[in-house]
A = this chain, B = another copy of it.
Amino acid sequence: MISIREVAKLAGVSPSTVSRVINNTANVDEEKKKRVLKVIEETDFKPNQVARSLFKKSSSIIGLILPNTNNPFFTEIIKYIEDEAYKQNYKILISYSDNNPKKEKENLDMLISMNADGIILLTSNENIKNEIKNISIPVVIIDRSLNDDNDLTQIVCDHYKGAKLATKHLVECGCKNIVNMKGPMEFSSARLRYKGYVDICQEMNLDIKTIDCDYDYESGIKSTKELLEKYPEVDGIVASNDIVAIAAYKVLDNKGIDVPEEIMIIGFDNISFASVFTPEITTIEQPMEKMGRKAVNSIVDFKKNNSTGESHIFDVKLIQRQTTFLKEDI
């Protein structure tokens, strides 16, 4: 690799001048500028980002820490984050925490020691708050929020409203025995969705019926089987998310139970498979693209204005498809 020093020598100027040309950071005599540019062209010189990063204490890297890849929501949001980062001239470094606080801390430390310019974190680990407060670079919490006694930047959708919409939709479709497959209570998203379900049930005078479930397919399969044992009267399922809704469908279908005729299902997230699956899954849409882009921009803005971005709660939307229908319609 050729260095700025050699370029300078070849162009007959000092390294400082080459640096000024590259970065357009000061006026340089046109003649010299041309010579430098010519040498750069000829030698295919690329400034070493590591050296620049060491000096600048900024690497143009945004770290993205996700729990795992079990939930398509996690993998889908990556593309929007990467795309926005690319537009803003940042790179994305991905790592997974496996919901393991130790690994999460390791990833955080690694990113800091790499001079990352910011971190987008999807977590449910409340203890991480203390870590984050002492971090010098901006950290944006996405999807799941942490109890906010301070000024963390949190980007989430309105899980509570979403669950209310979902439950209300099943009620309107004529369901009387609605079961909520509730996600892990350590996740704020799951707590809020559960609360939304409960509040509508109380409003409508319906019994509250729940089954614990994780956010992944395997767990969805297992929990749906339990659900059928525990609540044989079920006629509507508010699944913890889309991949669980799909799992629920598979179990019901295998048992010869008709969806939506006998049991209706509604998911959450609107992952792309939700509309690809047969039947297409009725769900609550999270504006993943907006959320992903906003997360990146919070960090970019921080770099520009040195101000912590504000938290945002994004609106959600019911998307009706084939796993629910208005019984009155027939």
Contact = CB atoms under 8 A, between A and B. Distances in A.
A249 B109 CA distance: 47
Determine how many copies of this chain the complex contains: 2
Main SS class of interface, A:
helix
B1 A136 contact: yes
29 contacts: A1-B136, A46-B109, A46-B113, A49-B110, A50-B53, A50-B59, A50-B113, A51-B54, A54-B54, A59-B114, A61-B93, A68-B79, A69-B76, A86-B95, A91-B93, A91-B110, A91-B114, A92-B95, A94-B94, A217-B276, A246-B276, A247-B276, A249-B278, A250-B276, A250-B278, A253-B278, A273-B276, A277-B277, A278-B278
A75 interface: yes
Given A92-B93, A136-B1, A49 B276 contact: no
A96 to B, nearest CB: 6
Interface in A23-58: 46-51, 53-54
A101 to B, nearest CB: 16
Interface string A260-283: 000000000000010011100000
A149 B194 CA distance: 60
A9 B113 CA distance: 21
A249 B51 CA distance: 53
Given A50-B113, A273-B273, 7 more contacts: A1-B112, A46-B109, A49-B110, A50-B53, A50-B59, A82-B96, A93-B93
Interface string A76-111: 101100110010000111111000000000000110
A115 interface: yes
A78 B46 CA distance: 28
A248 to B, nearest CB: 12
Q: A-B pairs with the 6 shortest C-beta distances?
A: A69-B79, A49-B113, A46-B113, A50-B54, A49-B114, A50-B115
Interface in A110-142: 110, 112-115, 136
A246 B278 CA distance: 9
Size category of the A interface is 35 or more
A97 B69 CA distance: 22
Contacts of A78: 69, 75, 94
A112 B48 CA distance: 8
Given A86-B96, A94-B94, A114-B49, A278 B277 contact: yes
Contacts of A278: 249-250, 253, 277-278
Contacts of A54: 48, 50-51, 54
Contacts of A1: 112, 136
A1 B109 CA distance: 11
Contacts of A249: 278
A91 to B, nearest CB: 6
Nearest to A59: B50
Interface string A193-212: 00000000000000000000
